[in-house]
Amino acid sequence: MHTYTLSEARNRHGEIFDRAATEPVLLTKQSRPSHVLLSATAYTKLIDKLTELEEAVWGQKATEALSNAEMVGTESFTTALIKIANGEA
């Protein structure tokens, strides 16, 4: 990832946006990371992947909860969790 200062970003914004179209660009302020520029396509892919991973984690947690259910009314509880896991609730 290429790094520019915020001052460089003001003066060389065309170059920086061109670079951000193909790879993320790190902007720094007082030698500390401040912002990351990336293309809309890269951002969309990132958000889609995060959503996919989040759904997988929630699905796994629901499966674990189902396998660990040990209470009175377990059958109705299990049915409710299956509906939640399948997005029916």
What's the DSSP call for residue 31?
T
Question: In this model, does residue 60 exceed pLDDT 90?
Answer: no
How far, in Å, CA of 29 to CA of 53, rounded? 32
Question: According to the model, what pLDDT value does residue 69 have?
Answer: 67
Q: Is the pTM of this model over 0.85?
A: no
**For residue range 1-58, what is the model confidence (pLDDT) as tens digits?**
999 999 999 999 999 999 999 999 999 999 999 999 999 999 999 999 999 999 988 8
CB-CB contact of 27 with 5 (8 Å): yes
State which fold the 2-38 domain adopts: YefM-like fold (3.40.1620)
CA 70 to chain centre: 33
pLDDT at 89: 63
Query: What is the reported pLDDT for 70?
Result: 65
Q: Where are the domains of the chain?
A: 2-38, 50-85
